[in-house]
Amino acid sequence: MTVKDYKDGKMITLSKAFDTRAKFLNIIYFLVFTCGASVFGFIASSIITDDIWIGLLAVLVFTAYLIAGYKFINKSLQTEKIIIDKTNLTIIKSGFFSTKKDTYAHAYISNFTHLDKPKITKHALAGQTFDYLGFETEQAVINEMHGDNRISFEYQGKTITFGENMYTWDFEELEILLYDITGNDFRYTDDFENSFYPKQ
C-alpha cells in the first residue's frame, strides 16, 4: 500500500499488476486459454468451408476461450486505488481495457471493517503426516485466490468491498489516514456520531 498527495486529499494504491501469486497464476491460465483459442481458430478456418456446423461450433469455442483468456489477463493486470478527500471516498479499479470509478459520500459510510481470510483447517482426505494427494495444498491455493483479506463498509443499505490481500496493519493505517483527512470515524455514520457528540 502506497500513499501520495492528491489535490485536497490522498491517493492510496492498494494493488498493482502482478503483485500477488494469484495474479501470476492467472497469467498461466491466460496462456492456456489463448493457446486453446488458437487451436480452435485454426480448426474453424480449416473446416468451416467443408462442414459449416462443425466450423460454427469451433468458432463458438474459439470465442469462449478468448473471453476466458481475457478475464484472466484482466485479473492479472488489475489495479486498485482509492482517493480520499474532505467529502468523498472514491474507489478506482482498472483492468486491461476498462476502468471503474465509484464515489461514496462520507456521511453515508458506516461499519468500516476488515474481512479476515478464513482459517485453513486440515482437509478430511489429507494424510496424517503428508498431503499425498494434494487436497490440503489445493485448499490453500483456493483460499489464497478467493479468500477475503479485504475491506468492507455499509453504504445506504449496501455492502461495499474493496482491496485485495489487505492485512490488518494496512487496514489500521488506512483507518488512521481516513480519520486524519476527514475527521470521521467510518465505523459509524455521521448521524450516529452526532447523537453522542452534537456539532456546535
* pLDDT of 156 over the 80 cut: yes
Which set of grid coordinates corresponds to residue 24? Answer: 501470476
Instruction: Decide: 103 and 85 in contact? Cβ < 8 Å.
Output: no
Query: What does the pLDDT read at residue 35?
Result: 85
More confident residue, 89 or 56: 89
* pLDDT of 117 over the 70 cut: no
Instruction: Decide: 165 and 20 in contact? Cβ < 8 Å.
Output: yes
Query: What does the pLDDT read at residue 93?
Result: 92
Query: What does the pLDDT read at residue 49?
Result: 60
Query: What does the pLDDT read at residue 98?
Result: 83
Instruction: Note the CATH architecture for domain 2-17+78-196.
Output: Roll (2.30)
More confident residue, 128 or 32: 32
Distance CA 115, CA 121 (A): 18
Q: What is the mean pLDDT of the chain?
A: 77
- The half-sphere exposure of 55 on its side-chain side, counting CA atoms within 13 A, is 9
* pLDDT of 101 over the 70 cut: yes
Which amino acid type is present at position 175? E
pLDDT winner (highest mean) among 27-31, 50-54, 117-121? 27-31
Percent of the chain residues topping a pLDDT of 90: 7
| Lowest model confidence (mean pLDDT) among 66-70, 110-114, 156-160, 188-192 | 188-192
* pLDDT of 128 over the 60 cut: no
Query: What does the pLDDT read at residue 92?
Result: 93
Instruction: Decide: 143 and 118 in contact? Cβ < 8 Å.
Output: yes
Distance CA 81, CA 140 (A): 27
Distance CA 24, CA 74 (A): 12
